[in-house]
Amino acid sequence: MNDASSLRTVDVGGATPYVIAIGPDLLRDGARLAAPVRGRHVLIVSDDTVSPLYASRVRAALVQARPQLQVGELVIPAGEASKTLDHFGAAITALAELGATRDACVFALGGGVVGDLAGFAAACWMRGVDCVQLPTTLLSMVDSSVGGKTAVDIPQGKNLVGAFHPPRAVIADTTALHSLPARELRAGLAEVIKYGAIRDPLFFQWLAAEREALLRGEAGATAQAIARSCEHKAEIVERDPLEKGERALLNLGHTFGHAIETEQGYGAPHNDNLNHGEAVAVGMVLAARLSARLGMAPAADTDTLRALLEAYGLPTTIPAGLDPQALLARMRLDKKNVAGRLRLVLWRGIGQAEVVPDVDEAAVLDVLRG
């Protein structure tokens, strides 16, 4: 059914290897969707934006390929506010009502919110059943669907309850990106640019050259950007699945970014608030400026990064009205910190990120003040 030449795959190795498939119309490919399913039960978890667009084609393709399957569905409201223990409980109830056995499979059909929540439910049902990630946002295709981190939020903070539970397969249907709002596409592109910034200067240059094609959603360039990003993430998580070392590099810009997201009221439905990818874009520029200020990297690389992000329509400065001292206080609470020292991902220049264990707070404050 699929033009084989347009299908790309990335292998993720390690203790529980799996394959990431990237290509058009994969959500209609019943054989591919059914292949990872071991038992008779599939629960599709989706949100109320994605489900009406794509759930029926997944169900139809699955049942056509494997008529004896019992397929249940849980639909949660779209948005980060749904990544809760309550909706996790609803997913567990749905598995129980389906009569799901230990060979059941959870299909996470949606963005990172659905992927994290459904993945966590799969990690917990009967102490762990299979999960197939069907990411429908660019961000989830290049980041959250790969690597096995699953979680829900609690009022005290984001992602505080979760598990490492690698998927059995990742199937990224690039056709689904056609319905994605432009702002969500750009948020995903910020994370794509991050891979270039932390470890791949040639990819960084390629992203500058292919900007128009990527912003247009041109199929070949988009699939290539996803595949290259997944290769980078796969290489890193293969070597460091539990984030004891180099996996932290994936957080370039994230300590600054999370501080901005939290300070502006995380999850508050204000359109002028930065979303995650936008906050990471600003955060990467702040990390680059701090690196230059500490004498670690040439200031010219900050300018190159800022110019690329701006060309992609992404923000590069802290939104007006956020207090630098308050942002610094948020950064002190980051999970990466050890023994009360600010631990940040900085860089030596484009393509060379590194973890710096004890960053001078005065220098950070200077950068936050602009």
Q: Which is nearer to ligand NAD, 106 or 113 (CB)?
A: 113
In the shown chain, the binding pattern of residues 155 to 184 toward ligand NAD, with x for contact by CB under 6 A and - for none, equals ----x----------------x--xx---x
Note the Cα 145 to chain centre separation in Å: 6
Q: In the annotation, is 233 catalytic?
A: yes
* DSSP states along 154-191: ETTEEEEEEEE---SEEEEEGGGGGGS-HHHHHHHHHH
How far apart are the C-alpha atoms of 330 and 37, rounded to whole Å? Answer: 42
- Residues 90-129 touching ligand NAD, rule: CB under 6 A, are 110-114, 116
170 closest CA partner among 227, 235, 88:
227
Q: Which of 32, 254, 306, 343 is catalytic?
A: 254
**Tokens standing for residue 253:** 């810009």
**Tokens standing for residue 62:** 């699955």
Contact in structure between 223 and 26 (CB atoms under 8 Å): no
* DSSP state, residue 185: H
Query: Does 337 sit near ligand NAD (CB under 6 A)?
Result: no
User: Which residue matches tokens 């990527």?
Assistant: 214
Q: Which of 247, 289, 330, 343 is catalytic?
A: 247
Query: Does 253 sit near ligand NAD (CB under 6 A)?
Result: no
Q: In the annotation, is 276 catalytic?
A: yes
**Is residue 254 marked as binding?**
yes
Among 20, 21, 72, 80, contact with ligand NAD (rule: CB under 6 A): 80
C-alpha dihedral sign at 316, 114, 144, 225: negative
Contact in structure between 113 and 80 (CB atoms under 8 Å): yes
**Tokens standing for residue 23:** 């290509």
Q: Which is nearer to ligand NAD, 23 or 147 (CB)?
A: 147
Environment class of 193 (CB within 10 Å of its CB; exposed 0-12, middle 13-18, buried 19+): buried
State in Å, rounded, how far the first CA of the chain is from the last one.
53
How far apart are the C-alpha atoms of 111 and 89, rounded to whole Å? Answer: 19
Tell me which residue has its CB nearest to ligand NAD.
Answer: 112
- HSE toward the beta carbon, residue 299, CA cutoff 13 A: 3
**Is residue 316 marked as binding?**
no
Among 8, 41, 57, 149, contact with ligand NAD (rule: CB under 6 A): 149
Query: Does 186 sit near ligand NAD (CB under 6 A)?
Result: no
**Is residue 149 marked as binding?**
yes
Q: In the annotation, is 211 catalytic?
A: no
- Residues 270-309 touching ligand NAD, rule: CB under 6 A, are 276
Among 22, 105, 106, 136, contact with ligand NAD (rule: CB under 6 A): 136
Q: In the annotation, is 244 catalytic?
A: no
From 30-38, 64-72, 142-150, 208-216, give the range in contact with ligand NAD by CB under 6 A: 142-150
Q: In the annotation, is 293 catalytic?
A: no
Query: Does 46 sit near ligand NAD (CB under 6 A)?
Result: no
How far apart are the C-alpha atoms of 343 and 331, rounded to whole Å? Answer: 9
Contact in structure between 20 and 12 (CB atoms under 8 Å): yes
Positions marked active-site: 127, 149, 191, 233, 243, 247, 251, 254, 258, 276
Residues in contact with ligand NAD by CB under 6 A are 47, 49-50, 53, 78-80, 83, 110-114, 116, 136-137, 139-140, 143-144, 147, 149, 159, 176, 179-180, 184, 187, 276
Q: Which residues are annotated as a binding site?
A: 112-116, 136-137, 149, 158, 191, 254, 276
Q: Which residues are annotated as a binding site for Zn(2+)?
A: 191, 254, 276
